[in-house]
Amino acid sequence: MKVLVAMSGGVDSSVAAALLLEAGHEVVGATLKLWGGVSDSGCCSVADVDDARRVAQTLGVDHHVFNYAEEFEKHVVTPFVEGHARGESPNPCIECNRHIKFDLLFERAQRLGFDAVATGHHAQVEWRAGEALLTRGADSAKDQSYVLGYLHREQLERLLLPIGAMTKSEVRAHAERVGLRTWDKPDSQDVCFIESSLGREVFLRSRIPLSSADLVDRASGEVVGHTDAAELMTVGQRRGVLPGRDGEKRFVARVDIARRRVEVGRLEEIMVDSLVLDQNSLSFARDALAPDTPLWAQWSAHGQPRRATLRFRGEWSLDLDEAARPVAAGQSVVLYSLSDPRVVEGAALVRR
């Protein structure tokens, strides 16, 4: 099988390429050049491209660099900035996976005559009754099925995830055993287009004006503080919010950019028991989901899944079995089957 391997320069994609080569496949590596600006973090730095190239040399496989900087700006960076300008908290890594690493890369792989695309994600594609299904990775601490929740069935049918059945320690051990320079390289943690030395505020200020806002106690209506950048406030956060007069911690409950107002409250005051979903993002492509379907719902990459029931009351929503902290608009929720670790749907949250 002729396989195009997306090589980010990290240990996971390095081992993915090595395993496919060992299995007898014809392997070609591809690194995506996504961010045209300065990068000192994430997976878009010059050093990462060099690491991927040198791993390919060690393995004896061809390596290419595909430039998607224009598309990355359009589909990832611009929506990230515009989301913050609306008071949302977008997830750029999911959008990058959805629009760039899979949509565009799959299209190019098909044009170039590859049979499959492979990545180093900690997730698994399982075939059941002739159908390709996305399931959680074997290493629960590193599971990345959440960020792949938007993949279509046609993409899953042509996707290989060679390390999905391995733990992270097993991946590193295999990389060291076969002499890959990335065997002890730390995992990428940050947004690749934001310099870690400068941070999100500096990046956003270079793109949009940031608005000052009052912090308002939602119970009393009293102004209890101030922020110089409401666009940086995230629903559920405590950092930057002073305790109330009662000494209890306060959390962000709502960000209203237009009114330059950020509502805060005690934790018990801001908890929610339902989430309204972006109706346009729910395709139900994998399963014929119906109202009143019980599921596991997860809304952060390493968050704990929570039991919920899918409802339709003029729009699709999730009723949570137990109240949870509010989830910021723009974040994604991925739905899993109750009976096994199978992903059944991904969606974007638009409001609580």
Q: Catalytic site residues?
A: 96, 192
Question: For residue 198, what is the DSSP state?
Answer: T
Strand runs labelled E in the chain: 2-6, 26-33, 62-67, 116-118, 123-128, 131-136, 159-160, 213-217, 223-227, 251-256, 261-265, 272-277, 293-298, 306-312, 316-324, 332-336, 343-351
CA 352 – CA 343 distance, rounded (Å): 22
Place of tokens 């059941």: 128
CA 297 – CA 294 distance, rounded (Å): 9
Element (H, E) at 70: helix 69-72
Task: Work out the end-to-end distance of the chain between its first and last CA atoms, rounded to an integer number of angstroms.
Answer: 46
Length of the chain as a residue count: 352
Q: What is the DSSP string of 282-328?
A: ----SS---TTEEEEEE-STTPPPEEEEEEESSSEEEEEEEEE----
Strand 213-217 and strand 261-265: pairing? parallel
278's torsion region: left (phi>0), alpha (psi -120 to 50) or beta? Answer: beta
280's torsion region: left (phi>0), alpha (psi -120 to 50) or beta? Answer: alpha
Phi, psi of 6 (to 5 degrees): -75, 110
Which residues, 6 or more positions from 211, have their beta carbon under 8 angstroms from its beta carbon? Answer: 229, 230, 231, 257, 260
CA 86 – CA 230 distance, rounded (Å): 10
Q: Residue 191: what residue type?
A: V
